Chains A and B, each alone.
Chain A
């Protein structure tokens, strides 16, 4: 028994099979190509949306309003404590600065504030939250702890906006996963159906193989190699399509949305992502052929 001889035989048989039934294999390759292309697009879009969400999330900060009579030294001390607890930065905004900001935000009406006998605004601490601590639950928990501290009058952290952002991200993740599952299932069904046609066309060959002593594994391997090659070809086509699309509209898209997310090519295929998509394509081909050949051998 020679492993090399068997491997050579398996590849020869797989290529022979593909050569003699090109139509069914073209259908399978096209199906995988469309699936991987859609997946690549969705993957690219998801990454871009994630970047968008995280850039919006960057705006999230917690404002802690202090009681009117809090001495500035104590405010500074509290800011340091909050910075270390939040794991980010914290800065004291004195009453005067708060008034200045309000005045500039009111524009022409800002002058009216000068008529006030005393500055009614409290001093506050602006706490910046690091990327990993922007989940609604975590921010809420931190806010509750801060609210319980002496000297703290109120805490504002844009709870509603954060919750909405989280819901959008959750929906996108769930939708992406569901879409991926549907694409995988559809592709496996189509690929296995086309491969079943290919196997059916070679049923006589399989029958003779079994009569001369071939094991099920021996019969199965060439068909699995066919599935793998289909996956490879399909995903290579999909990568080419994604690359062409990135080249054609990627930079324009990124530019159009530059006000929301950093300007880069939205659908750029980097080597790591290309490798992942190739693996997805090969997996789809392999799974489709596995289903088809198992069903055939059982029958």
Chain B
């Protein structure tokens, strides 16, 4: 589903954010992307949904080479990728339902149909009773669930989550991660960037470790969980 071949990303005056990254994420897979702050996790995700362009190398997303995609083609690529941000990026003056419907508005889905899909998605994330609330009235965990609902409401093939539990307490972290696991079970390819070792130890998923922009480890779930549990 996502393939990277010798990908480099450099910003002028800084050491490379990504250096010779090769990666293959299969369809329906759940992948943790881990590493310390500044390792290049966010940059890698940004390259996948074209918020940034690679300096060199090839990136295939759903068979499409995003390194060569034209500016006008980016919106259509993004419609197949849901993104969950650490800082939520919710519109405070719009209701929860309107925030989730934002993705469907872009696709031109009629209002009644959109309302039905939004309510079904809010039910899935356990927030149907908060549809008419405003984001700032919700807890951090609830806000993150709204973001996940917004990312999934148009049924994308890929879900990218950048530190989705970074601002949450342990109980809410488990809640959000369970939700992402459930999304993956239903067939969506999920890539989660996190520096939280406890999540990797708990969920036993394939883990790619980045350090200073390089892939230093690519382990299956059991190995990665053992490694994290032993604190190596």
Verify if B11 is at the interface (C-beta below 8 Å from A).
no
Verify if A209 is at the interface (C-beta below 8 Å from B).
yes
Total interface residues on A, CB under 8 Å, equals: 22
* B103–A215 CB distance below 8 A: no
Mark each residue of chain B from 34 to 78: 1 if its CB lies under 8 Å from any CB of chain A, else 0: 000000000000000101000000000000000000001001111
Q: Complex formed: what's the CA distance from A211 to B107 in Å?
A: 13
Pick from B51, B79, B93, B109: contact of A5, CB under 8 Å: B109
Total interface residues on B, CB under 8 Å, equals: 23
* B91–A215 CB distance below 8 A: no
Q: Complex formed: what's the CA distance from A269 to B77 in Å?
A: 53
* A3–B108 CB distance below 8 A: yes
CB distance from A11 to the nearest CB of B (A): 12
In the complex, chain A residues 1-39 whose Cβ is within 8 Å of any chain B Cβ = 1-6, 8-9, 20
* A211–B111 CB distance below 8 A: no
Q: Complex formed: what's the CA distance from A8 to B112 in Å?
A: 12
* A5–B110 CB distance below 8 A: yes
Pick from B89, B109, B110: contact of A211, CB under 8 Å: B89
Q: Complex formed: what's the CA distance from A218 to B102 in Å?
A: 12
Which residues in B have their C-beta under 8 angstroms from that of A216?
A: 72
Verify if B150 is at the interface (C-beta below 8 Å from A).
yes
A-B contact pairs, 5 of them (CB 8 A): A1-B107, A2-B110, A3-B108, A9-B108, A216-B72
> Which residues from chain B sit less than 8 Å from chain A, CB to CB?
49, 51, 72, 75-79, 83, 89, 91, 93, 102-103, 105-111, 150, 154
Which 3 pairs of residues, A with B, have the shortest CB-CB distance?
A213-B79, A213-B78, A1-B108
> Which residues from chain A sit less than 8 Å from chain B, CB to CB?
1-6, 8-9, 20, 204-205, 207-216, 218
- For the complex with contacts A208-B91, A211-B49, 12 further pairs of A-B residues with Cβ separation under 8 Å are A5-B110, A6-B108, A204-B89, A210-B78, A211-B89, A212-B78, A212-B154, A213-B78, A213-B106, A215-B75, A216-B72, A218-B75
